[in-house]
Structure 1
Amino acid sequence: MLVISIILICITAIAFYTSPKKFKDSYISKFNDKFSKYFRTPNSTPASSRKPSYSSNEPLKDPTPLMITPDQVKNYDDRPWRPFRWPYHQTMSIFKLDMNHWLDMDKYYWRYIEEKKRIWMTYGKENIDWLPEGYEPSFELMQIVTDHMLKRYPLLFTLVEDKGEAGGKIVYNELTKETLDMTLPLKEQPLLYVSKMAKEDFYVVLKNPKDDLHYLVAAAVPFPGGSFGIDSKLGQHLDVIHEDVPYYKEKLKRSMERWFDRLTPNDPVERASWYISWDHKLKVNNVYQLPKFVPDLKADMESMDPKDFNVRVERQTLRKLPKSGAIIFTNHPVFYSIEEMKDEPLVPSLIRKILYEGPQDIIKYKNFDFFRDYIVGYLDSLVKRQIDLGIISEDTPLKTLPTYPFAHWSKTDFDLVNGWNNPKEKVNYLQKAKEEKVHKNQ
């Protein structure tokens, strides 16, 4: 899902820069007061008041130390993403990134890191590779990620030795019990060290001075979600990478380079996109499987209980490095079962609406039409359940939640709190993930 993720980030950013102020200040309509009790809480910050991405001359602040131990991480959750919008083409969907949340921590950290190692050992440069010109920005990224982890998570990452700018660092990962020797000369490529510290995927995009265009020069992407590797995209210009993406040629091709040029190191942004599958795999989800690996994908899909279908949220950030000028795109998947969201106002209704009435090119791109008829009865039952329980009524307006892109019950402003611990019932899918059949490309 790399291609559509990058494109949607840039489309929404361009829309912001070119929209009148009145639109910027009111891009999400308020619900009728009759229904506000279902969505707002006194301590929550609605999406419409979160700051979108502005160019800023203020330097980035160091992250606030989050004093959690490895044992506490086991009960820690990512922020509760709910990036469901209606109308689906609604544009304002990026926000200025609080650097405290650049590389978030959660209870699935160990799974991400173990999967990265497995995928690197099994598939190698299909998922992690670099060009010679990608070394310098990858090295800078390694230094920035290292400093971020040491400052943000001082009880999870320990500085063993610091030999200065010319000598490098040795860091101990308290979560994986691994010593990362990043003294110079490096023993491994910088992206491999990055992948041993952070659970995110990383894409490194660099401007070529010969033509002033941006190219993918390095990437550590073990979790693309779809049936593709970065080996076919490395060294390619953004237009080539995105030629099959819906609406790229019509809405973005002419503007993407200008937006990348405009981005500064002080303007990191974040957003989230989503799709649906019936598994928790990180490398290739079943919904994007190829016939040569799963000859009868429909039978595989229909063997699952609709209650086992998941929303895979792709949580994404975009920032520019200060020295090399490289643009770093990060992504990591967060899974939420539809079942665990069944009593969240309008969530089943929004998912159903988008599956059938979203833009046709997006429906096809995300394979919604492959499985939607199989789970629509389940979704309808959840909508009826919400009406019967009084969570919504039959005439509740079907609109983006005011707390977008987060759950309605999240009673906090995430930019002001030091971390996040989910107060709701704990959901852990690790055992299910271990039991899922793994195909040759997964």
Structure 2
Amino acid sequence: MDQPMLTAINLAQWKILALFLCMCFVSVLIVLCTKQKEPLKSSTPPIFKNDVEPTTYPPVEPLPDFEWQKTEPLKLRPFKPKYHLTMSIEDSTLSELIEIDKNYVDRIALRKEVMKKHPETVLGAEDCVKMAVDEFYTWLVGTYLPTRFSRMFKVIGPAGDQPSLLHNLATGEKFCLRPADKPLETLRTMGGLVEDDLLFLLPSADGDGYTLKGFVTCFPNGFDTKKKLNLKLRDIHKPVPSYKQKLEKSMDRYFDRLKTGKFIRRANWTITSTDQLFTDHGNHLYEGESIPKEDLDIDKARVRCERQFVHRLPQTRGILFSFKTYLYTAGN
């Protein structure tokens, strides 16, 4: 009697166990099917459009009614009641990169004269800077100037052929759209085309910071740019009091992080005892230096301001520091 009862109990237990296992199996199938419907997740973060830096310059805003002969020079007033050594930068746009006014022709003539008399001071280039210089020149003469100032610059060429020249209607000169074989000659051409001085910085060979590799600076403010060639940004500013303590790290970091498509503007000012735009010495007094006493001629003294721009070249990824100099009398 006992044996049949045990057998019946065992059979009932096995049925319950089998039912439980079947339910578990169905649950697992449901979970797996649900997972397959979910999108696959990558272990690497997605690349958003905002993270992709452009490899070309953005469009230039035209000034179709611009008349350089009637345009007054900018009146920069970057003065503050208390002096603080800071970067003092602000965002700008590509279209504002170059300013032209009624002094253009006279300034260009002066720049050519300076380059002829002082080529060793105002022009310099290493071979490695050619690609960066060529990139900016090609865009400047082929796109920026004829687009921004269309009544002043025209791209021209033989009938039926591709345009090959930039015609400067203000001076009557024509410039080849292709850069010269040597970066120094391309810099010379740009020095006689726009009023802005140009300094090209490339990543340093040791991966630490940026180094000056090419320049045209017809209107230096008391320094010989040739002596700055092949120096890192921090070494160029070494004589500036408190630069190392207050600005060196932030400047290096900012240049490293500067993205293409971002255009930075700032202005600085000094008071000089001369009305000359080309001054390769004397306008700065660095720590430990002395300056001889001299009689100040208030009629020659000037407030000297620089309208400065910094941006990264989109293809070669070099950095271009450019500036236009303005002189104001004390009466202004």
- Aligned equivalent of 2:59: 62
Select which of 114, 120, 139 maps to 1:119.
114
> In 2 relative to 1, CA 193–307 (structure 1 residues): closer, same or farther, beyond 3 Å?
closer
Number of the residue aligned with 2:288: none
In structure 2, what is the equivalent of residue 339 of structure 1? Answer: 331
Instruction: List aligned pairs for 1:41-440, cutoff 5 A.
Output: 61-68=58-65, 72-89=67-84, 91=86, 93-146=88-141, 147-161=143-157, 169-183=164-178, 186=181, 189-226=185-222, 228-284=223-279, 288=283, 298-299=294-295, 301=296, 304=297, 306=298, 309-340=301-332
Query: Among the aligned pairs, what percent are the same residue?
Result: 25
Q: Which amino acid aligns with 2:315?
A: K
Q: 1:92 to 1:212 in 2, by over 3 A?
A: closer
CA shift at 1:90, angstroms?
Answer: 7.5
Higher RCO (CA-CA < 8 Å; seq separation 6+): 1
- Backbone CA RMSD of aligned residues: 2.9
Gaps of 5+ in 2: 1-49, 286-290
Displacement, 1:208? 2.7
Structure 1 position 119, deviation (Å): 1.2
Q: Within 2, Cα distance between the matches of 1:158 and 1:104? A: 17
2: CA distance, partners of 1:100 / 1:318: 13
Distance verdict in 2 for CA 1:90–1:241, change over 3 Å = closer
The alpha-carbon deviation at position 168 of structure 1 amounts to 8.5
Report deviation, 1:297.
Answer: 6.0
Amino acid aligned to 1:104: E
Post-superposition Cα deviations, 1:53-110, rounded to whole Å, max 9, x if no partner, equal xx997866422211346xx322212332110012221857321112222101111111
The Cα of 1:184 is off from its aligned counterpart by 6.3
Deviates further, 207-216 or 112-121: 207-216
* Structure 1 unmatched ranges of 5 or more: 1-54, 341-442
**Distance of aligned partners of 1:57 and 1:82 in 2 relative to their CA distance in 1, 3 Å threshold:** farther
Say which SS state the counterpart of residue 288 (structure 1) adopts.
coil
Q: What is the Cα deviation at residue 265 of structure 1?
A: 1.4
Structure 1 position 199, deviation (Å): 0.5
TM-score (structure 1 length as normaliser): 0.56
- The structure whose Rg is larger is 2
For residues 233 and 168 of structure 1, the distance between their equivalents in structure 2, rounded to whole angstroms, comes to: 37
AA at the equivalent of 1:65: P
Closer/same/farther in 2, CA of residues 235 and 117 from structure 1, 3 Å limit? same
Deviation at residue 136 of structure 1 after TM alignment: 1.1
- Is the CA contact 2:138–2:177 (under 8 Å) kept in the aligned structure 1? no
Work out whether residues 94 and 271 of structure 1, in 8 Å CA contact, stay in contact via their aligned partners in 2.
yes
Counterpart of 1:170 in structure 2: which amino acid? L
Q: Give the length in aligned residue pairs.
A: 271
CA shift, 1:161, in A, is 2.9
For 1:328, the aligned partner's letter is L
Letter in 1 for 2:314: P
The question of whether the paired residues in 1 share the 8 Å contact of 2:201 and 2:210 is answered with yes
Give the Å deviation of 1:160: 1.3
Q: Is the 8 A contact 1:202 1:220 kept in 2?
A: yes
Aligned match of 2:26: none
**Helix, strand or coil: the match of 1:282?**
coil
Q: Deviations over 1:359-399 (max 9, x none)?
A: xxxxxxxxxxxxxxxxxxxxxxxxxxxxxxxxxxxxxxxxx
Q: Secondary structure at the match of 1:112?
A: helix
**Structure 2 counterpart of 1:120, which letter?**
M
Per the TM alignment, residue 182 of structure 1 is displaced from its structure 2 partner at its CA by 3.5
Over 3 Å counting, the alpha-carbon distance change for 1:92 and 1:181 in structure 2 is: closer
Contact kept in structure 1, 2:179 and 2:186, CA below 8 Å: no
Q: Secondary structure at the match of 1:82?
A: coil
2: distance between equivalents of 1:131 and 1:326?
14
Distance 2:283 2:187 in 1: 26
- What whole-Å deviation, never above 9, does each CA across 1:327-351 have from its counterpart, x for those lacking one? 10011111222212xxxxxxxxxxx
Provide Cα deviations, 1:305-357, integer angstroms capped at 9, x if missing partner.
Answer: x36532111110100001111110011111222212xxxxxxxxxxxxxxxxx
Q: Is the 8 A contact 1:308 1:339 kept in 2?
A: no
Distance verdict in 2 for CA 1:185–1:92, change over 3 Å: closer
2:138–2:178 Cα contact (<8 Å) kept: no
Q: Distance in 2 between matches of 1:220 and 1:212?
A: 24
- Contact conserved, 2:259 with 2:312, CA < 8 A, in 1? yes
- 1:190/1:316 CA distance change after superposition, 3 Å: same
Alpha-carbon separation, structure 1, partners of 2:164 and 2:207 = 36
| C-alpha distance in structure 2 between counterparts of 1:320 and 1:289, whole Å | 28
Bigger mean CA offset, 73-82 vs 116-125: 73-82
Deviations 1:248-290 (A, max 9, x none): 1101223332211100111111011001124331111896299
